[in-house]
Amino acid sequence: MNHKLAVDTNVEVGIEAAVRDVEIFLNQFHDTGIILVGNQQTIEKTSSYQNLEGKVGIIDAPEFLPGDSDPREEFRKIKTAKNSMCIGILAAIKGAVDGFVSNGPSGFMAAAAHYKKLGSLVGKSVPYFDFPSIHKDSVAVCDAGAFGENTTVADLFVYGVLLREELISKGIAEPKIALLNMGREPNKGGQTLQEAYAVLDKYLPGFVGNREAFELHSDPDVNGFIARGDHGNFALKSAEGTHDYFLDYVAPTAGVEPEKIQRMREIVDLDGKDGGIFLGTSLNLILGHGRRSPLSSLRIAHRYLREKGDSQAVYAAVEEYASLIESLRKPNSR
């Protein structure tokens, strides 16, 4: 087997659904070992586990980490905690698994990623999601929602460097990166976005300027978007809500046949892109959407581990801008 993944089964949609997804995944991919992390008694009672017994491992984690938990406080208790997120991430930190897949709270995953960040120049580790695009298979969108308004100019620049390196590792030789904003003009947005625009425009290769949220799907020239935390999160969730509203309500109400609606879902394939990969960390953490089961995240983790570049090489790209990043982090530096 090439890789081993720990999978959080204590998910919102239920352990039964999570274990069923693991069975589907293992029927498709035979080169990955799986460790189920969750309530062992409940896992062993699921119908899918009967087909998986002897093929997967289990780490008992009887507790569920609530979404309103304080990530930093919970992370301090990681060695003694009994919830599935702490136990799964601890397995990744110790090297018992190659990666951890969870649909749990993003803030806790971010705290874990920060604990094993590549180096001091990486201020905050954030995930990016592949998002449907009209002109290409997908576009990468950074979601720093766990940090909200606290995103700094230095953070945005580091996101740009990290995302650029990630896209290069995926075979895009000269990726084009945009800053998500309320307009294309350099003076749009607040002070942080205006200053970030100036820094990115001057120093980041392939920076193409500001883009608006409606261009996430439609700009043919952009391979990746970086955003202030709350902006990226709002854009992604608004698009997801519009997707669900149209396919679950508008199309059926308009009399569109169920087969055609299903075809629309396949074209958009939002489920197939449900898995955020954390940048700037040595841990392989894949974050799924809380309202979905982990199948899509498992597939993304499988592909990511096969394609992943050298972490130290990625950090070396960040180190090239060390003096700039350090100056941006100093108070009153601009």
Chain segment 178-200, per-residue pLDDT in tens: 999 999 999 998 899 999 999 99
CA distance 50 to 304: 29
C-alpha torsion sign, points 246, 247, 252, 255: positive
Q: In this model, does residue 131 exceed pLDDT 80? A: no
- Can you tell me whether residue 269 is helix, strand or coil? coil
Residues near 254 by beta carbon (within 8 Å), at least 6 away in sequence: none
Chain segment 85-124, per-residue pLDDT in tens: 999 999 999 999 999 999 888 888 888 888 888 888 988 7
Asked if residue 102 lies in contact with residue 5, where contact means CB atoms within 8 angstroms, the answer is no
Chain segment 225-268, per-residue pLDDT in tens: 998 877 877 777 787 788 788 889 999 999 999 999 888 877 77
CATH number of 129-273+309-334: 3.40.718.10
Res. 149 pLDDT band, cuts 50 70 90? low
Q: What are phi and psi of 230, to 5 degrees?
A: -70, -30
CA distance 249 to 244: 8
In this prediction the pTM is 0.86
